[in-house]
Structure 1
């Protein structure tokens, strides 16, 4: 009889424990349901693109959720090696940067080092198998060297490489210098991006002469229809003013003189670089700034006579 009483007590305690567990689970489910429900229509919500959105009414319940998971994703189901990135694609490589390279190391010696050297040679030959690719590699290398020497941004480099690719596709390279095309492409890229660089400055760093540059530029302008017009003297004012250490008022006055020179036809048929330097010199004289004709001529790479002629035309009748 006492054994039956003990059995009933145990069953009662077990029933109470199961009831408590059921109550706790129900409370937890109710709490989770309240957190996952829409405050407007009580619909279910789900997370999409760092936002908690109601599936019924479309209300954005919460935004800018923080993902506490790892930043990488494993595409091959191999969690031991989460690497999946490589070098970015670039226009400054003949193959857009998709190829691989065999590097050089001093840690290998003897027969293995000679074998790697032969593999490197064969690998390079396989990547550059045609004359077209060799020309492109050489020109792209020259463009990268030029943009680096002129301290130009990467967008200028990529634009210049795209221009060379277009010129090669139109068969404009035959009978002309690759160095000249590289120089012309960098100059045109500067002009299209409103970066003030003169032909003399680009040719001074290039391996091409000004005649080779002009031949390549004329061919591209004729066949490709380059989207550039005559250079404006105003493009060179900020750089010249910075090199001459002029104040803002002098630069502003020089800009007004440039507008006047263009309107009155003083700038017609003249080197825009010389016109910009002459306007800056004239503005400095009017603002009592210490700038000489020789200093203005040096920054523009022109002669003082060029500065003097434009200065006389600007001050004539004043």
Structure 2
């Protein structure tokens, strides 16, 4: 096969447990969660690695008798989720869920836990999925919002600096809150609702994360992007 997939709106391929069917389903899933990326299936090294990783995970799970009767769409989606984590290209469960052929977030979450448990038992140790950082999602979220290169650069630097502080929020929530702060300091302000839709983080969660980040904004926001006077214009949480 030597073609490039660019159409991400086509219907999902019929589910087949053959290798060809599994490859097609993984291709469809990944292209749906990466609509701005075009992959040559025969030549893109990263995609081949990711697909092979997901295939490997699924094959191991398929060999487990306890996997019979489980929601196959959820299992395949969870395999892709884990593969993305292991290859340092994480996607949120919500992102996977939005394209997972009808599998719910809860079903994918359960499938993920099942896979991690089964493979951990097989290996005699925990399954390493890689650590998620807020910066892992930043460029994709900013792209979803149509932010300029200038603001994307500021958001990327800010979210990296935020890791120096003990902000006890999920990386995705921190990323969303940083985007909110950065856009409020720009001429192209983004409504909280738009940020929520682009990131999949609830508006209330973004507000709470903003409240936790607010005391540190003078150290988190790059000085080249906003000065102290600019920061004073931020709304108090």
* Pairwise same-fold verdict (TM > 0.5): yes
Output the CA distance in 2 between the equivalents of 1:198 and 1:181: 15
Question: 1:257-301, CA deviations, whole angstroms, 9 ceiling, x for partnerless residues?
Answer: 3234333221x2x33222211111112223444222222111012
Asked whether the 8 Å contact 2:90–2:132 carries over to 1, the reply is no
Structure 1 residue aligned with 2:196: 297
Task: Give structure 2 stretches of 5+ with no counterpart.
Answer: 3-15, 40-46, 120-125, 219-237
Greater relative CO (CA pairs within 8 A, separation 6+): 2
SS at match of 1:184: helix
Output the CA distance in 1 between the equivalents of 2:61 and 2:187: 49
Task: Give structure 1 stretches of 5+ with no counterpart.
Answer: 1-86, 89-133
Displacement after TM superposition at 1:162 (Å): 1.7
Asked whether the 8 Å contact 1:135–1:178 carries over to 2, the reply is no
Answering whether residue 61 of structure 2 is matched by residue 167 of structure 1, we say yes
Residue in structure 2 matching 1:187, options 81, 86, 96: 81
Question: 1:89-122, CA deviations, whole angstroms, 9 ceiling, x for partnerless residues?
Answer: xxxxxxxxxxxxxxxxxxxxxxxxxxxxxxxxxx
Kindly report the root-mean-square deviation, in angstroms, between the aligned alpha carbons of the 2 structures: 2.8
TM-score (norm 1): 0.51
Output the CA distance in 2 between the equivalents of 1:247 and 1:147: 25
SS at match of 2:67: coil
Displacement after TM superposition at 1:139 (Å): 6.9
Displacement after TM superposition at 1:203 (Å): 1.2
Structure 1 residue aligned with 2:212: 313
Displacement after TM superposition at 1:194 (Å): 2.7
Output the CA distance in 1 between the equivalents of 2:180 and 2:57: 36
Displacement after TM superposition at 1:172 (Å): 4.8
The higher radius of gyration belongs to 1
Question: 1:146-184, CA deviations, whole angstroms, 9 ceiling, x for partnerless residues?
Answer: 234335754233321221012123445135322211010
Output the CA distance in 1 between the equivalents of 2:31 and 2:71: 21
Residue in structure 2 matching 1:214, options 101, 104, 109: 109
